[in-house]
């Protein structure tokens, strides 16, 4: 194919999956001067693609909402509007980076040669039938590397031999939303009940952070998470429960944090993409293929935890991952940054 200039990416969800796609854009634009992207993404994550400097147009979809009421979706005209937007350009390439039947269907509404994962590489093999150019990408590697390889094969450039770079434009984020500095962000909310680190452990970790001279900052996304944040804050001498914020505002708060502690959730991946040092906590899941990707990231898994008798926790699976164990991983990160900042001040 001739060198592409205008490419459509289809990667609709989840937050972590969307974030994992960003380094591929960085690779592609470094290899192909002048390359620009449009991006189809779920409406709840539509802020994210525009943070990459190579993205021009973000085309939101609402598949999660639409499929709850197909008749209403048709009557509202939203589907027709989406088809009009995605069909307005003749793309040099359309890359389905999701590998699902729904994403392949959406990619099929665009004009341009379609690329995606082949039947041995896609999460839903039937999706490969919708592409003119299915690509083989090995499974046994991190999701970021899989997407990077898909883009390199689809757009015919050599994959860089360096780690992926997110290259987010931090000027897109509000600044100085938190006056009480320095602070550590606790990303405590996630959708799976068994991925929650125990609340009593968060409370104890907050005390370690305070004693080291840092405030604790607690974002939340729903009423249950807000209530948990308030309970954690009540156990802390220096804690801030954030108001309801947009994703860009949360990113702005994370950008200015000294460090973060995160469960396995989308905001944990955002922390990594913003290059903020973080300790990520994995219980029933593994970080090997979908863990927080980037410099300054420390993954803690149950296999690394000490053995013995532990307090009663909920969920029980996290009992061995005690606050003391997590603090031992977090303290070097914030101490190291303090040293760097003090040296810069001198």
Mean pLDDT of the 284-310 span: 95
Strand partners, 17: none
User: Under a CB-based contact definition with an 8 Å cutoff, are residues 135 and 153 in contact?
Assistant: yes
Start and end residues for every CATH 3.40.50.2000 domain found in the chain: 6-165, 171-345
Given this model, what pLDDT does residue 342 score?
Answer: 46
Q: Is the pLDDT of residue 339 over 70?
A: no
CA distance 184 to 260: 5
Residue 30 has pLDDT above 80, yes or no: yes
Residues ≥6 apart with Cβ < 8 Å to 251: 51, 172, 173, 270, 274
* CATH number for region 171-345: 3.40.50.2000
**Per-residue confidence at 3, pLDDT binned at 50, 70, 90?**
confident
Q: How far apart are CA 101 and CA 107, in angstroms?
A: 10
Is residue 104's pLDDT more than 60?
yes
- According to the model, what pLDDT value does residue 65 have? 84
Conformation bin of residue 255: beta by default, left when phi > 0, alpha when psi is -120 to 50: alpha
Place of tokens 């040092």: 277
pLDDT over threshold 50, residue 345: no
Under a CB-based contact definition with an 8 Å cutoff, are residues 166 and 19 in contact? yes
| Distance (Å, whole) CA 273 – CA 316 | 30
pLDDT band at 343 (very low <50, low <70, confident <90, very high): very low
> Does residue 217 carry a pLDDT above 90?
yes
Which residues are CB-neighbours of 7 under 8 A, at least 6 positions away? 28, 35, 36, 37, 38, 91, 92, 93, 94, 95, 155
Backbone angles phi, psi at 287, to 5 degrees: -85, 0
**pLDDT digit string, tens, across residues 110-134:** 999 999 999 999 999 999 999 999 9
**pTM score, whole prediction:** 0.94
Read off the pLDDT of residues 230-286 as tens digits, 9 standing for 90 and up. 999 999 999 999 999 999 999 999 999 999 999 999 999 999 999 999 999 999 999
Per-residue pLDDT for 78 more than 60?
Answer: yes
Residue 81 has pLDDT above 70, yes or no: yes
The pLDDT of residue 69: 82
Which of the four CATH numbers 3.40.50.2300, 3.10.450.350, 3.40.50.10490, 3.40.50.2000 does domain 6-165 have? 3.40.50.2000
């Amino acid at each position: 194919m001739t060198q592409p200039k205008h490419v459509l990416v289809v990667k609709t969800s989840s937050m972590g999956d969307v974030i994992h796609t960003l380094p591929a854009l960085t690779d592609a634009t470094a290899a192909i001067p002048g390359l620009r992207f449009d991006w189809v993404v779920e409406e709840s994550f539509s802020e994210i693609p525009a943070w990459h400097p190579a993205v021009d147009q973000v085309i939101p979809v609402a598949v999660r909402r639409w499929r709850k009421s197909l008749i209403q979706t048709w009557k509202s005209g939203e589907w027709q509007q989406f088809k009009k937007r995605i069909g307005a350009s003749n793309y040099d390439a359309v890359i389905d980076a999701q590998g699902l039947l729904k994403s392949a269907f959406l990619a099929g509404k665009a004009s341009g040669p379609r690329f995606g994962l082949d039947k041995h590489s896609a999460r839903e093999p039937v999706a490969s039938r919708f592409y003119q150019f299915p690509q083989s990408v090995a499974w046994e590697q991190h999701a970021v590397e899989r997407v990077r390889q898909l883009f390199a094969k689809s757009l015919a450039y050599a994959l860089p031999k360096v780690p992926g770079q997110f290259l987010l434009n931090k000027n897109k984020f509000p600044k100085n939303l938190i006056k009480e500095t320095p602070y550590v962000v606790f990303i405590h909310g996630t959708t799976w009940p068994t991925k929650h680190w125990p609340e009593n452990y968060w409370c104890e970790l907050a005390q370690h952070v305070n004693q080291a001279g840092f405030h604790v900052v607690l974002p939340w996304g729903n009423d249950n998470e807000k209530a948990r944040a308030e309970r954690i804050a009540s156990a802390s001498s220096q804690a801030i429960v954030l108001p309801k914020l947009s994703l860009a505002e949360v990113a702005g708060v994370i950008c200015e944090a000294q460090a973060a502690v995160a469960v396995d959730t989308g905001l944990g991946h955002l922390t990594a993409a913003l290059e903020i040092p973080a300790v990520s906590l994995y219980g029933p899941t593994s970080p090997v293929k979908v863990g927080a990707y980037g410099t300054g990231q420390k993954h803690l898994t149950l296999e690394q935890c000490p053995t013995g008798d532990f307090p009663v926790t909920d969920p029980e699976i996290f009992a061995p991952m005690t606050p003391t164990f997590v603090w031992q991983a977090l303290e070097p990160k914030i101490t190291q940054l303090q040293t760097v900042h003090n040296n810069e001040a001198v």
